[in-house]
Amino acid sequence: MEDYIVRLIVLGVISWSVVFLLVRKIFSNLSFNSCNRIVSTIHAALAVTLASLSVQDWRCPVCPAAAKSSHWQMSTLAVTLAYLIYDLICCLFDKQVDISNAVHHLVSIIGLGAGLFYEICGSEMVAALWITEISSPFLHMRELLKELGYKDTDANLAADFAFAVIFSLARMIGGPYLAYVTVTADNPILIKAMALGLLAVSVFWFYKIARMVRYKLIKRSGHNKVT
């Protein structure tokens, strides 16, 4: 791993921590978790933008496979790796630790770290970054709306369904294809394992999201019958 990447990761962890402290100060009426979600939304927007800019050929976004990562791809991955390290540490200070979220962070940190160490498969990894972060703003929006008092409103329901649809399309269509490309290409075994691990986590979350949508539909249907 090149020295500038290590420096970028260290600077990134510090920077994301400072952003959280600023958000915490500006929105002092919000909970610790909600302030962290605002930081996560900022990262998601930045990650999708950087990942989109680092695609070498939009006719084949995951090409060239198993190739040496470009400078831009390495920097993009370093920014997200720094965020994931910050977020994992930040989550430990929250009152409730989500085990599945912690596992997701660890898998992602190891996967990104391996990609940066080997300096290859940048195309596959920025594609994975785009797929995993494109639905994140809607995930955080639905939780923020609940804290702001908009639980069980049309706005919250719209955020729920937007998140469910975008997550499902990205993770359950793009995800398996990307995992297949990563596993069948000449990538290190660790990166292949991380691709399969991320896919497994996505399937688990898809199951939970499907249950959430079903619950929301049944609840809304029952509410409409009563009214």
Tens-place pLDDT, residues 99-127: 777 777 887 888 888 889 889 888 999 99
Pair 35, 27: CB distance under 8 Å: yes
Which three-class secondary structure state does DSSP give residue 120?
Answer: strand
Is the pLDDT higher at 188 or at 85? Answer: 85
Is pLDDT of 225 > 60? no
Q: What would the two tokens of residue 58 be?
A: 């939009």
Distance of alpha carbon 81 from alpha carbon 109, whole angstroms: 6
**Which residues 6+ apart lie within 8 Å of 125 measured at CB?**
69, 73, 77, 111, 112, 115
Alpha carbons within 13 angstroms on the beta-carbon side of residue 47 total 28
Distance of alpha carbon 72 from alpha carbon 56, whole angstroms: 10
pLDDT tens digits along 28-67: 999 998 999 999 999 999 999 999 999 888 888 888 888 8
